[in-house]
C-alpha cells in the first residue's frame, strides 16, 4: 500500500512539475489543419502530403487559418541501427525532414503520429521506452505537432499519466516547440489531468464516424451527435493552450473516408456538415479536416472557409460553449466571446423543421420556462449577426422568431 501511495505521489509531482515548465505560447487558440487518417489510412505517401499542402494554399484553407498538415499512423519503417525512428522508405523516399521542409515552404506547419506503447494502433513502431530519442528525432525533422495515441497500453489512469508525462517532458527538452495532442479517447477522463501532464489538447471520445447519429455509442459507432453529447459539462476544462478535442471534422467526406466509414458511417448531408462545423466552432474544438483537399467542392469550401464561424472558434478568450437548453429536440449552446460579445447556436436535432420563439430576457423557448445558469445579462441591446447569412437580422429587444430546418443550425453573434 505504501509503495502504491508513493508511486501516485511521484507521478503527481512529475506531471505538476512538467506543467510548471510548459510553453504557454503553444496552441493559444484551437489548432486548425488536416489529418491523413480517415481519408487515406495506410495509403498515405509523401506525394499525397505535398499535394494536400499545395491544395491548402490554392483552396484558401491556409488564408482562413488552417495551418497543420498531420500524418497519422502507418508512416513508420521501424528503427535504424541507432534506434532512431525511420519512415517507410517506399511511402516517404525523400524522408520526413524533406517533407516537413516542403510543408514549411508553404508557410504551413507539419505534424506526425506515435503511440505511448511499443506498437501503434496499426501495429507499427511506437515510442514507449524511446521517448527521448523520438522527441529528438521529431525535433530534428522539423515536427510542429505530435498526436500521441494509446493503443496497446495499460488501462490504468496512473500509467497513462506517467507515459504521457514522459513524452511531454521529452518534447520540452527537444529544443523545438511541438504541440502535444493526447489521444486516449476520453476513457481515463483526460480533461482532469492531461493539461498538467503537458497536453495542449486531449481527445474526449472514441473516434468519430461520418454519420449524423448512431443508436449505440462505443468504439466503432460514434456519430456527430453522440460525440456532441459527450462534450456537455466539459467546458470548464477548456482554456488557451488546453483544449477538449471531440475528434476530427467529417465535413466533406461524404462517406468516402476509410476509417470514418467503419461501423456504419455512410456520409452526411451538406446541412449536417454545416451544423457539425458550427458546433465544433462553438465548442472551441480543434478544427482538423480529413477530406482529400485536392478535390474539395464548393459546398465544402463554403462551410470550411466561413471566417465568421472560424472567428468564434478562434476567439482569444478561449471559452467553450455550454449547452444551456435541451428541449423538444432543440439544443441551445451559448459561448462567451471577447469584447463582451456572445455567440449562440440553436440546433434542430429532429427530422422535421422546427419553429422557435426565444425570449432574450427570460431565456424562455417557445413559451417554456427553462432553468438556465448563464452569465449573459441582457441589460443592453445586442445586434444579432447571422453567421451563415452574413447579415444583421435584428436585436435582443424583441423575441427571436425563426424556423430551423431538420439537422440545421441558426448561429448568431451578439454584438454591442
Reported in sequence order, the residue ranges of 317-405 that DSSP labels E, i.e. its strands, are 322-327, 330-336, 342-348, 354-358, 383-386, 391-395, 400-404
Catalytic residue among 115, 144, 207, 313: 207
Backbone phi, psi, residue 392, to 5°: -80, 135
Quote the CA–CA distance of 33 and 298 in Å, as a whole number.
18
Quote the CA–CA distance of 274 and 343 in Å, as a whole number.
16
- Alpha carbons within 13 angstroms on the beta-carbon side of residue 223 total 17
Quote the CA–CA distance of 113 and 116 in Å, as a whole number.
10
339 burial via Cβ count (<10 Å: 0-12, 13-18, 19+): exposed
Q: Cell numbers of 258, please?
A: 476509410
Catalytic residue among 149, 210, 315, 408: 149
Q: Cβ neighbours of residue 274 under 8 Å, at least 6 residues apart?
A: 303, 388, 408, 409
CB atoms within 10 A of CB 267: 18
292 is a catalytic site residue: no
Which residue in 308, 353, 297, 306 sits closest to 329, CA to CA? Answer: 353
Quote the CA–CA distance of 359 and 380 in Å, as a whole number.
14
Quote the CA–CA distance of 45 and 123 in Å, as a whole number.
18
- Alpha carbons within 13 angstroms on the beta-carbon side of residue 245 total 30
149 is a catalytic site residue: yes
Residues carrying an active site annotation? 149, 207
Amino acid at each position: 500500500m505504501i509503495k502504491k501511495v508513493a508511486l501516485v505521489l511521484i507521478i503527481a509531482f512529475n506531471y505538476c512539475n512538467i506543467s510548471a515548465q510548459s510553453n504557454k505560447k503553444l496552441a493559444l487558440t484551437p489548432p486548425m489543419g488536416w489529418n491523413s487518417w480517415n481519408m487515406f489510412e495506410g495509403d498515405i505517401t509523401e506525394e499525397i502530403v505535398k499535394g494536400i499542402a499545395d491544395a491548402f494554399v490554392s483552396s484558401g484553407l491556409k488564408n482562413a487559418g488552417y495551418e497543420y498538415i498531420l500524418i497519422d499512423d502507418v508512416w513508420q519503417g521501424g528503427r535504424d541501427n541507432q534506434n532512431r525512428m525511420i519512415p517507410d522508405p517506399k511511402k516517404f523516399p525523400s524522408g520526413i525532414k524533406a517533407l516537413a521542409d516542403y510543408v514549411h515552404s508553404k508557410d504551413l506547419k507539419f505534424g506526425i503520429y506515435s503511440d505511448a506503447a511499443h506498437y501503434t494502433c496499426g501495429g507499427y513502431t511506437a515510442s514507449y521506452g524511446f521517448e527521448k530519442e523520438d522527441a529528438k528525432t521529431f525535433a530534428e525533422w522539423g515536427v510542429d505537432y505530435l498526436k500521441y495515441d494509446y493503443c496497446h497500453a495499460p488501462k490504468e489512469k496512473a500509467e497513462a499519466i506517467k507515459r504521457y508525462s514522459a513524452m511531454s517532458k521529452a518534447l520540452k527538452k527537444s529544443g523545438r516547440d511541438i504541440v502535444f495532442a493526447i489521444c486516449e479517447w476520453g476513457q481515463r477522463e483526460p480533461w482532469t489531468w492531461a493539461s498538467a501532464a503537458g497536453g495542449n489538447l486531449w481527445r474526449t471520445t472514441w473516434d468519430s464516424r461520418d454519420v449524423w447519429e448512431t443508436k449505440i455509442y462505443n468504439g466503432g459507432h460514434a456519430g456527430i451527435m453522440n460525440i456532441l453529447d459527450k462534450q456537455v459539462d466539459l467546458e470548464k476544462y477548456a482554456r488557451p493552450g488546453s483544449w477538449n478535442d471531440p475528434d476530427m471534422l467529417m465535413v466533406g467526406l461524404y462517406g468516402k473516408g476509410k476509417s470514418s466509414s467503419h461501423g456504419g458511417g455512410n456520409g452526411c448531408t451538406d446541412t449536417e456538415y454545416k451544423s457539425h462545423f458550427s458546433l465544433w466552432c462553438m465548442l472551441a474544438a480543434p478544427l482538423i479536416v480529413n477530406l482529400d483537399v485536392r478535390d474539395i467542392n464548393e459546398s465544402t469550401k463554403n462551410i470550411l472557409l466561413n471566417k465568421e464561424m472560424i472567428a468564434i472558434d478562434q476567439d482569444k478568450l478561449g471559452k467553450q460553449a455550454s449547452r444551456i437548453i435541451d428541449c423538444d429536440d432543440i439544443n441551445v449552446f451559448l459561448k462567451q466571446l471577447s469584447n463582451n460579445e456572445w455567440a449562440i447556436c440553436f440546433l434542430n436535432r429532429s427530422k422535421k423543421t422546427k419553429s422557435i420563439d426565444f425570449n432574450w430576457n427570460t431565456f424562455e423557448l417557445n413559451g417554456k420556462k427553462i432553468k438556465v445558469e448563464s452569465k449573459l445579462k441582457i441589460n443592453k441591446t445586442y445586434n444579432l449577426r447571422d453567421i451563415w447569412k452574413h447579415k444583421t437580422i435584428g436585436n435582443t429587444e424583441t423575441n427571436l422568431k425563426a424556423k430551423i430546418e431538420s439537422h440545421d443550425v441558426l448561429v448568431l453573434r451578439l454584438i454591442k
